[in-house]
Structure 1
Amino acid sequence: MNALHPADYAIMAVYLLIVVVVCVRVTRRSPDADDLFLAGRTLGAGVIGLSLFASNISSTTLIGLPGAAWATGISVANYEWMAALVLVFTAVFVAPVLIGRRLTTVPELLEQRFDARLRKYLSGTSLILSVLLDTAGSLYAGALVVMLFVPGLSLGPTCAALALFAGIYTAAGGLRAVAYTDVLQSLVLLVGSTILFVLVFAEFDYSWAEVTAQVPADKLSLIRPLDDPALPWLGTLLGLPILGFYYWTMNQYVCQRLLGARDIGTAGRGALIAAALKLLPLFLMVLPGVMAVALFADLDRPDTVFPRLIATYAPPGLAGLMLAGLLAAIMSSVDSALNSASTLVICDFVQPRRPQLDAKALARLGRLTTLGLMVVAALWAPAIDRFPGLFAYLQQAFAYVTPPLVAVFALGMLSRRLSANAALAALATGHAVSAAWFVATQLGWLNLHFTLVAFVLLLITTAAAALWQTLLGSAPSTAQLDAVDARQVAPAPPGVRWGAAGLTLATAALVVAFW
């Protein structure tokens, strides 16, 4: 592996200094609870869109996507364009409900529709996923890259150092610091990834025909056969929307930016900006990864593709910029996950039990919670090394945990019959089945692609909800039904709806082009 040039270290040092300066500027006054968790509900559309993109790009994209593309082909980009469609749906149908009801956390909506038990169930599950998947996964990815360029480091201490840096400025500035540093980080990330794509494409004389001649044809198709081990077309159609719906609509880690918007229109426009940006990873991360098939045949594991491309093709200075972009993505994912996890703990568990606490006391507890969760994530991150790859670790965990949550959330929004007792029983049933299925899969008794597992678990939970409703009876109150009545909130503005239509057409064109 090529050593970094002094100019690369200088650029990374400048980047870290700028992050510190931005944090100091946005945290001059000690934020109260509303500032810490929702940035005072003052975020603009551009900040929301770039922050959504940056916070997601680390854990599931920057390291995982190039590696998965190198191993299995560009079908891994289906996660990205499907995310764009889910964000379009969120902009038009979900953001008006979240903003119109002045929520602080997404689980609050389940309490309004059902009761406090459902709120705590979703909040607790989201908290575990946020710390053990999003935060720990990002720390692991960052540590891999740093260790690749700085020989002699070990995994555990490197994860701890990254967690400490992100945890301190997240605890100090809350969502405002997270969002504004994410803007900087997303811009660095986009510039660095674009440069890397150009450099790698240059190895093929900027000729797509040359790429298709050197890379196997089956690795250049988005839509794969039903027996494809990586991502069959049926899994793309049935499973990915479920995983995407949880991640982009129910996940506090993502929705916290929408909840911090000034108004419904701002939240919708921010979601659409993020949707447009989610069409770029196919070109900036996936295609360089699949081109690496023709460039590298000696890699030990897929997760090293992106840093290997940087080390091999980036000249002095540019390597530092791209590595800064990668670290930016890691930091943005870590800070976002820590801030959202802290919000869930304080707003869904502490505040309901101790309503006498004022905003300043809640903010202090929020900072301490952030630092505590940082420690947990740093301790768990090295364990991810035992999994076959970061992308597999993240996606398969989501596939077994989130479908029951999506089923009950959707039923609660769409059905006027489902009661709180039936919803809670359905969630418990769905997760019991998913746990048993996961164990059976690990023992080799079942062998179904995890995207299809997600769809089957959704069906099982839906059937369980219908059964439990029949057995337990009772019906929601008028107040509970009003919580999800679209007539209770203003609709998305016409500009948001027109933008959603345009992005849907653009996404369809991209899929057809790389079918």
Structure 2
Amino acid sequence: MKLEMLDTSIFIAYVVGLLIIALWISRNEKAEGRNTEDYFLASKSLPWWAIGASLIASNISAEQIIGMSGSGYALGLAIASYEWMAAITLIIVGKYLLPIFLKNGIFTMPQYLEQRFDSRVKTTLALFWIAVYIFVNLTAVLWLGGLAIQTVAGVDWMFGMIFLAVFSIAYSLYGGLKAVAYTDILQVVLLVFGGLLLSYLALVEVSDGQGFIAGFSVLTHELPGHFDMILSPDNENYMNLPGISVLVGGLWVMNISYWGFNQYIIQRALAAKDLKEAQKGIAFAAYLKLLMPVIVVLPGIAAVILYPQLTSPDQAYPSMMELMPVGIKGLVFAALVAAIVSSLASMTNSISTIFTMDIYRPLQPNKSQNHYVHIGRIATLVALGLALITAQPLLGQFDQAFQYIQEFTGVFTPGITVIFLMGMFWKRTTSQGALSAAIGSAIFSFALKFTFPDLPFMDRIGLVFLLCLALTVVVSILTASKEGDESSNQSVSLDEVSFATDRGFNLAAIGCVIILTFFYVTWW
């Protein structure tokens, strides 16, 4: 498939327009002076609508659009649990986790761990996150993005990856988080519009022109198994989504870790003007998450009927773009690229933040603010360079990239979740207890994987979480007297942290629960 001249012109106009907006934002920032708070936390001035839009733009990328659409092709609507359960998770994060982080005025997640525990825990987790962001997240986004550009525009995947990397640098390297967050607003509008339009056209095509409602009826009638939200043990995809575990098991651990303790996600909320503004942004993002399966999963299900002979599920979304008329195809292609470069910019900004603030600054503590910003930019370039080199070797052999990412990160997710939750809500947690959770997570995960190979990875995550929880309690009790640090630091104290939320946030939370209940009851 190739883009027509009109499609290419629209796409070029989008690229140029985004760069102009980003440079304008960056020039305004330059007039105010540049320090680490300006560059890494957007001067702590983001409004709720920018926070919510940027959260979704950072989250929805190639591995979400292409990977989750591919999973929709392979196993159906059940994969939407990742999106819908995330909406509830965001509400929980907004009410119980954000107040603690904002009260402590942190830049990064490792910084909180240093306040709560010590530099060993901070450095261990900082190095881990940098490695995962570069060799799992960045590589996945670049690889799937390159394949999408090759499928849609006919450009070689390597040149596609280079274009995405250069484009993300062009609009984010100078302006930092503020340029990323405000351009994300445009990205999300384009993403939602393009995604909804593609879903609409797909349903119309499925129904042979009878309308999108008729098309949805055709899908539910022809592919009833693709609309089972809770998979039974005899389902061939049960290993990926093990039945009721998506509601009460390991998916909660994964979601809380991703939305609550993931730097490139939570960094937007840390940059809020105040707690109330951050919570409104979180609630806004939760409702956008409810919409995401319509945009990313539904086209994949429709592709089962329209393109039944695909050699790889991850070809579903790019192939569906053939339905687009000339002109609109360029717009939807721009939406896909918008999601990709937004996530690249967000990830590289967070990598540079963690490296600069948690690794480099403690080694060089007396440098100027401009020096640290400069180091952050160098870290961005190095991270993207490494990801470009390793993307194809790491991900080129996998069929469903989204499931691969979940499986890999699931090895460490339980330990990270235990470290933060215990550190925040149990005063007796020690540094040794935290480190034991980090190490134990990998050991328990690999032990269960090889001992019980038929255990679904989501159930394995739940079990590893419980084992790490028990290990942390035992080790903390045994080492409390040795560390002798009165529950580490004052940051553990919740006495001055208010978990009260206003009426608007509470109504949003109730509405989210009602909508999700309806979804699961309808497609149980």
TM-score category by the smaller chain? over 0.9
User: Is the Cα contact below 8 Å between 2:61 and 2:339 reproduced in 1?
Assistant: yes
User: Is the Cα contact below 8 Å between 2:62 and 2:145 reproduced in 1?
Assistant: no
Identify the residue that residue 275 of structure 2 maps to in structure 1. Answer: 264
Look up the equivalent residue of 1:15 and give its one-letter code.
Answer: Y
Look up the equivalent residue of 2:507 and give its one-letter code.
Answer: W
1:504 aligns with 2:507: no
User: Is the Cα contact below 8 Å between 2:240 and 2:458 reproduced in 1?
Assistant: no
1:408 pairs, out of 403, 419, 433, with 419
Matches within 5 A, 1:197-346: 197-203=199-205, 204=207, 205=210, 206=212, 207=214, 208-215=216-223, 217-227=224-234, 228-236=238-246, 237-311=248-322, 313-346=323-356
SS in 2 for 1:488: coil
Deviation at 1:142, TM superposition (A): 1.0
Report Cα offsets for 1:118-161 as digits up to 9, x if no partner: 112222222122112221111112101111133361x3343223
Distance 1:167 1:402 in 2: 29
Look up the equivalent residue of 2:151 and give its one-letter code.
Answer: L
User: Is the Cα contact below 8 Å between 1:417 and 1:476 reproduced in 2?
Assistant: no
2:166 pairs, out of 158, 164, 167, with 164
Distance 1:364 1:469 in 2: 40
Distance 1:180 1:12 in 2: 20
Look up the equivalent residue of 1:406 and give its one-letter code.
Answer: T
User: Is the Cα contact below 8 Å between 1:74 and 1:286 reproduced in 2?
Assistant: yes
Instruction: Sort the Cα spacing of 1:386 and 1:395 in 2 relative to 1 into closer, same or farther, 3 A.
Output: same
Q: CA RMSD in A?
A: 1.8
Report Cα offsets for 1:30-78 as digits up to 9, x if no partner: 6321111000000010000000001111044211111101111110000
Look up the equivalent residue of 1:36 and give its one-letter code.
Answer: Y
Matches within 5 A, 1:482-497: 482-494=490-502, 495-497=504-506
Identity value in percent = 31
Identify the residue that residue 395 of structure 1 maps to in structure 2. Answer: 406
Identify the residue that residue 25 of structure 2 maps to in structure 1. Answer: 26
User: Is the Cα contact below 8 Å between 1:159 and 1:382 reproduced in 2?
Assistant: no
TM-score norm. by structure 2 comes to 0.93
Deviation at 1:324, TM superposition (A): 0.4
Structure 2: gaps (5+ residues): none
Deviation at 1:308, TM superposition (A): 0.4
Structure 1: gaps (5+ residues): none
Identify the residue that residue 15 of structure 2 maps to in structure 1. Answer: 16
Distance 1:323 1:24 in 2: 23
User: Is the Cα contact below 8 Å between 2:433 and 2:472 reproduced in 1?
Assistant: yes
Look up the equivalent residue of 2:269 and give its one-letter code.
Answer: L
Distance 2:63 2:90 in 1: 16
1:462 aligns with 2:487: no
Distance 1:429 1:468 in 2: 11
Moved more, 489-498 or 302-311: 489-498
Instruction: Sort the Cα spacing of 1:488 and 1:60 in 2 relative to 1 into closer, same or farther, 3 A.
Output: farther
2:440 pairs, out of 401, 406, 429, with 429
Deviation at 1:225, TM superposition (A): 1.4
Deviation at 1:356, TM superposition (A): 0.7
Report Cα offsets for 1:428-481 as digits up to 9, x if no partner: 22223334555x38xxx7222111111111122122223323443426644736
TM-score norm. by structure 1 comes to 0.94
User: Is the Cα contact below 8 Å between 2:191 and 2:336 reproduced in 1?
Assistant: yes
Deviation at 1:400, TM superposition (A): 1.2
Look up the equivalent residue of 1:257 and give its one-letter code.
Answer: R
1:57 aligns with 2:64: no
Report Cα offsets for 1:1-40 as digits up to 9, x if no partner: x322211101101110111001110111163211110000
Deviation at 1:362, TM superposition (A): 0.6
User: Is the Cα contact below 8 Å between 1:170 and 1:338 reproduced in 2?
Assistant: no
Identify the residue that residue 126 of structure 1 maps to in structure 2. Answer: 129
Look up the equivalent residue of 2:408 and give its one-letter code.
Answer: A
Identify the residue that residue 362 of structure 2 maps to in structure 1. Answer: 352
